[in-house]
């Protein structure tokens, strides 16, 4: 049985990521290898072969992690010949940081609407 296709979050078109988008991004950040990949990509676009060497990981293992990061909208990829290059999607990382800040802000608009029954 095939699972439904996963769509990347489109945070350019809305002011804030949805709860599903945020959960998907945090899931992507829950693995040390994926965080290490993001740290490598902070310095700019990298070929998957460069990441394989830098992280001393098998290409198949990295492909799995890169797919998770791509589906979460944290990285994008482009193909050039037989090589695939990855880079960060900074606006989605910024949106994630904003969502986390909003959750931690006492009295924020979302928090007030969640607890409206208690007023």
Classify residue 30: in a domain, yes or no. yes
Classify residue 104: in a domain, yes or no. no
Classify residue 97: in a domain, yes or no. no
Give the CATH number of the domain where residue 67 resides: 1.10.10.10
Classify residue 74: in a domain, yes or no. yes
Measured between alpha carbons, how far is 20 from 72 in angstroms, rounded to an integer?
10
Helices (H), the chain: 19-28, 32-41, 48-55, 59-71, 90-104, 109-114
Classify residue 25: in a domain, yes or no. yes
- 16 pLDDT band (50/70/90 cuts)? confident
Classify residue 49: in a domain, yes or no. yes
Structure tokens at 43: 């310095």
- What pTM did the predictor assign? 0.77
Classify residue 36: in a domain, yes or no. yes
Measured between alpha carbons, how far is 43 from 102 in angstroms, rounded to an integer?
28
Measured between alpha carbons, how far is 16 from 18 in angstroms, rounded to an integer?
6
Per-residue pLDDT tens digits for 44-86:
999 999 999 999 999 899 999 999 999 999 999 999 999 999 9
Range of the domain at 87: 19-92
When divided into structural domains, the chain yields a total of 1
Classify residue 105: in a domain, yes or no. no
Measured between alpha carbons, how far is 72 from 24 in angstroms, rounded to an integer?
5
C-beta of residue 18 within 8 angstroms of C-beta of residue 11: no
C-alpha closest to that of 17 among 95, 108, 89? 95
């Amino acid at each position: 049985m095939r699972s439904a296709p996963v769509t990347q979050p489109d945070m350019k078109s809305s002011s804030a990521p949805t709860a599903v988008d945020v959960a998907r991004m945090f899931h992507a950040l829950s693995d040390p290898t994926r965080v290490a990949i993001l740290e490598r990509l902070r310095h700019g676009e990298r070929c998957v072969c460069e990441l394989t060497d830098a992280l001393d990981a098998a290409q198949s293992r990295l492909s799995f992690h890169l797919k998770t990061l791509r589906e979460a909208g944290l990285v994008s990829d482009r193909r050039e010949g037989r090589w695939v290059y990855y880079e960060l999607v900074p606006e989605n990382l910024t949106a994630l940081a904003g969502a986390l800040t909003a959750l931690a802000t006492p009295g924020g608009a979302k928090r007030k609407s969640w607890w409206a029954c208690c007023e």
